[in-house]
Structure 1
Amino acid sequence: MRKIIVMMVLSLVATSFYGQGLNQKDRQQIDQRVGSFLQQISDKNYTGLVDYIYPRVFEHTSKDQMFKTFAMLEQMGITLKFQNMEVLEANSLSTVDNIEYAMIKYNLDMTLPLTTDDLKGFAPLIVPSLESNFGKGNVIYNKAENYIRVKGQKYLMGVKDPEYKSQWLFLIYDASFKSAITKIVPAKVNQQAAAIAGE
């Protein structure tokens, strides 16, 4: 269970990007909101961080459980370090029922220092999960220097829903969230997203 929770949060926080391929207004809003989103991570303000996630995901994932997860991760001493984060491409998806969708492909480069005995003990469980998610060649486990480094390309789905003040909110587009996304995002949009992601 802890392995699943750790994987979910690693996916969640790895979302630094600059919107391209959208109109100027959307690019500016995405810039502003992503800056704030990353500041929540830096400040470990997990309550604030959850406010940037598309709320409908919480119809299928407990927000209270997320808060407990964040608290547990902090107690475990997990501190992620990011470098070389950039968007590779961004594409508008269909608008359905006045809800706009966008697909962003971004470069991920993050390091998880194994600073506690607990984290060192979890490493043999975390590494295979990361390899499954990012590809074996994209995960480096340096046991001698006690860190795990992940490099790869990931996708993020942006959602701008009038019900939520037409602000861009985010869904992590990977296996950890795929079940919830399938339930809350229209099939047409999911098909377009899957085509972009090469699925």
Structure 2
Amino acid sequence: MKKVILIGLLTVCSVALSAQQLNPKDASAIDSQVSQFLTLIKQRNYTQVLDFMYPPVFEHTSKKDMFQVFELLEQSGIELKFKNMEVLDKKALPTVKESKYALIKYNLEMELPLTTDDLRGIAPLLVPALQSNFGKENVVYNKSQNYINVKGQKFLMGIHDPKYNKWLFLIYDDSFKSAIEKTIPAEVNKKAAAVAY
């Protein structure tokens, strides 16, 4: 009986360990895709960024909602400056029905120059809105220099679904929680949520 329990424990441990490792081919493919994805965000090319998104999510949320925060800021006349966007970590998640999943943690830093009196006037409204999206500790309003700096660590979920034959992404964020739950298998979402939230 002890042998059976020991073998069972070793099997569970080896599965848990292997679940955390991405094979080199997948890791390299993810790095390449994420690099392009983050570059397009830096360039504020949100239309092309959508080509990197996992299509089934759009059955539960609109494409317009994906980058609504950034687009609203730009419509207000704020020219976003993205910087220091880099991948910090990648973790494999459970494979379900031949679809592979990974959680990707990355740095996000952006500066919002408040270059007009109108923009400076809306700063008291803008700062709390950004704090609710990125966390209070990640938003600094420099009143004397007229800019808002936003820093934080964000997550993407990478999905390699055989139907699409390449790694695609979801913005793994509380604001898309409902759409993610409807798109991603519960066991995958549970593992990702344990790390991200």
Instruction: Tell me the TM-score normalized by structure 2.
Output: 0.76
For residue 93 of structure 1, report the CA deviation from its aligned partner: 0.5
**Which residue in 2 is equivalent to 1:168?**
167
The letter of the residue matching 1:130 is L
Which of 1 and 2 has greater Rg? 2
SS in 2 for 1:115: coil
Aligned length: 178
**Which residue in 1 is equivalent to 2:185?**
186
In structure 1, stretches of 5+ residues that fail to align are: 1-19
For residue 180 of structure 1, report the CA deviation from its aligned partner: 0.6
Distance across 2 between alignment mates of 1:69 and 1:154: 15
Distance 1:117 1:175, change over 3 A: farther
Distance across 1 between alignment mates of 2:96 and 2:43: 35
Distance across 2 between alignment mates of 1:134 and 1:45: 21
Distance across 2 between alignment mates of 1:81 and 1:47: 18
Distance across 2 between alignment mates of 1:26 and 1:119: 44
**Which residue in 2 is equivalent to 1:78?**
78
Distance across 2 between alignment mates of 1:66 and 1:136: 21
What's the RMSD between the two structures over aligned residues?
Answer: 2.8
Pairing 1:12-161 to 2, within 5 Å after superposition = 21-63=21-63, 74-161=74-161
Identity of aligned residues (%): 63
Contact 2:38 2:85 in 1 (8 A): no
Deviations 1:67-103 (A, max 9, x none): 9987765443333223333333221001111111111
Contact 1:47 1:67 in 2 (8 A): no
Distance across 2 between alignment mates of 1:189 and 1:139: 31
Distance across 1 between alignment mates of 2:132 and 2:64: 27
Distance across 2 between alignment mates of 1:91 and 1:121: 43
Distance 1:41 1:95, change over 3 A: same
**Which residue in 1 is equivalent to 2:16?**
none
SS in 1 for 2:112: strand
Give the number of the structure whose residues are more often helix, by fraction: 2
Contact 2:157 2:169 in 1 (8 A): yes
Bigger CA drift: 124-133 or 146-155?
124-133
